[in-house]
Chains A and B, each alone.
Chain A
Amino acid sequence: MVDTIVFLVAAVICLTGALGVILARNPVHSALMLVMTLFGIAVQFVSQEAHFLAAVQVIVYAGAIVVLFLFVIMLLGVDTAQNLEIGALPAQKWAALCFGVGSLALTGYIILAVDNPVTGRPGMGGAIDETANVRLLARSLFSNYVYAFELTSLLLVIAVIGAVVLARKPVKQLPEEAGR
């Protein structure tokens, strides 16, 4: 019963998003709709007990790839300023609210359905077994691969530093430099 409801809700989210990608006239909207579809798919993964895939779906696709899309689109210059007051239909705000509350409820359900790591209480969906993907993955990530894992964080930091330095426009001649 619960499974069916989750499936239906997620399916609606997926399809709405997918339609939105095609129908939206603004490429930024299309990209955002794609995020919605990917989130829906992530929920489907969770309901299939593929927790790791769900996490990767959110982190890699929704988090990284679509954000990259957005960057590219914005770099290419979709900068027509939009007046939020005019375009919005009155119903839109309510629809947004409903979707927001709905997503929150869904998240809450997922938290309840799986094991609670703080209280140790098994969720409604039954206890997670020891051999679950996420747990095994976490274990190897923090034992055999911990060194590579930690250094990856350094890699990301340094990539950000370098990218900022390379992308930054020299705003003005710094006073110290001008004096030399």
Chain B
Amino acid sequence: MEALLAFTRPPLDWHALAPELTLLAVGTILTLVDIIWDEKSKQVMPTLAGVGLLAGLVPILTLALDGTDRAMFGGAYMVDDFALVMKALFLIVGYIIVLMSVDYIRDGDYYENEYYTLMLTSLLGMLMMASSRDLISVFVALELLSIPAYMMAAWRKGGRRSNEAGLKYYLMGVFASAIMLYGMSLIYGLTGSTSFSSIASAMALNDGVTAMSILGVLFVLIGFAFKVSAVPFHNWAPDTYEGAPTPVTAFLAVASKAAGMVALIQLVFVAFDNHEVIQPFFWLIAALTMTVGNLIALRQTNIVRLLAYSGIAQGGFMLVPFAVAGQASERALQAIVIYLIIYAFMNLGAFSVVLAVSRKTRSGELESFGGLFQYAPGLAVAMTIFLAALAGIPPAGGWFAKFGLFRALLDAGGAWAATLGVVVAINTVIAFAYYARVLGQMWFQPIHEGDERPIKLTSALGSALVIALVATMAFGILPGLVGHFGEVAVLSTLGR
């Protein structure tokens, strides 16, 4: 009996948990509103969800102003600057995706209310991921963000393609989770701990390179490689991206991928110290992902599929700094964080334009962009900027992301880093080829099916477009903005 009483509740820092609790509360409110007002509540759902996401930014701001690192649950949950930067990114991305979804989901025959609840839950998982410094938390966060995403991919229930998208994503995701769990159990068996810092010190004691630790580490990394759709674990991505409702595709391509990257960052830079295993693995995966993604993208005729493969290739670029995580850890981490932030906005922008155009043309084919400039010059210019950013042409934001990659590679030095740099350079050129094809369609081709009606941009989609556009341009012209976030994130993660 005394033993039962002796248990004391672990101290909870409510301020540190506030962003997650806000999302949880908003999700609950959405569900309640749905239950009480049923169909009448459809109109307010997206507004509520959007306001809720923005409300989540408030505690993040106050936490950032406060500036102290907060650790809870024996270090399993950390709120430091890295976590805050990533949480803010997830919330803003979530807000933009809600804006993109409003009309798409309302026009189609979808269940609206549950859609937003699922998305908020998935975002909650992402926020949790940014703070998790423990294998179990990371796993729960991963499932929390993935399972709603599986269902959102299949949200167009009547469509066979959407069903295929959901099922493929689900099966591959579960498969990846199983592999990852196996790896985690090996690591736990080896080090006797689930917390990242203890794993790092235990591995340092054992020299880190035993067959079992290599297997464990690789299995965990492979699990997340599925999540960020790195080649050769990418086969689910194109079909899922094409079949899923387009806003969900944007969600998967940006938010979900970013969450996978956040997990990888924490695993590689905090938990696993055995760089002699990790670096060659990431070298190979990054080179493969960039090259395969870009080469297949060259042959695509469907714009969403093209963006899917371009997203795979961009993921490859993001994996590059992991290959020099040992030699140039600071620069590498900074490069990844900056790339993630910029990629989020430019890719969301491109998806917004695709959504706007396909609302009129009802087509996902590349030809539907034909002559866009003649009847929707604004959209054509915006798309040009986003594609230029994705290709890495200044002054649009993407150049700074690529610059960060090269800087990390140069800092690391050595033959391997140099070869990877060459691969990156070649891939940048290949990527330009297919982005240019879209540009060519918009500027020089005849109008698709001769339909010259202008495109009516709804206010929600328009705002999403404007936010993405402003951010993309701002990051390109004032790279110090995003660079600052990168530096802040680096200091807190590596200052262990």
Q: Which residues of A contact B (CB under 8 A)?
A: 117, 120, 130, 135, 139, 142-148, 151-152, 154-155, 158-159, 161-163, 165-166, 174, 176-177
Contact = CB atoms under 8 A, between A and B. Distances in A.
Contacts of A154: 24, 121, 124, 144
Interface of B: prevailing SS:
helix
B479 interface: no
B136 interface: yes
A166 B3 CA distance: 46
- Sorted from nearest, which 5 A-B pairs have the closest CB atoms? A162-B151, A120-B1, A148-B140, A144-B74, A176-B39
B147 A155 contact: yes
B4 interface: yes
Given A147-B72, A155-B147, 9 more contacts: A135-B3, A142-B9, A143-B74, A148-B136, A151-B125, A151-B141, A158-B147, A162-B151, A176-B40
24 contacts: A143-B10, A143-B73, A144-B74, A145-B73, A147-B73, A147-B76, A147-B77, A147-B137, A148-B136, A148-B141, A151-B125, A154-B121, A155-B125, A155-B140, A155-B143, A155-B147, A159-B147, A161-B117, A162-B114, A162-B118, A162-B147, A166-B151, A166-B154, A166-B166
A177 B40 CA distance: 10
Contact of B7 (A139, A147, A159): A139
Contact of B4 (A117, A143, A162): A117
B249 to A, nearest CB: 18
A33 B276 CA distance: 52
Contacts of A174: 39
B111 interface: yes
A145 B121 CA distance: 19
Interface of A: prevailing SS:
helix
Contact of B76 (A120, A145, A158): A145
Interface in B49-76: 72-74, 76
B136 A151 contact: no
A148 B135 CA distance: 10
A145 B124 contact: no
Contacts of A177: 39
A60 B261 CA distance: 32
Nearest to B3: A130
B337 to A, nearest CB: 24
Contacts of A148: 76, 134, 136-137, 139-141
A14 to B, nearest CB: 28
Nearest to B157: A166
A152 B128 CA distance: 12
Contacts of B10: 142-144, 146
B446 interface: no
B116 to A, nearest CB: 12
A132 B449 CA distance: 74
Contacts of A144: 10, 73-74, 76, 134
A113 to B, nearest CB: 18
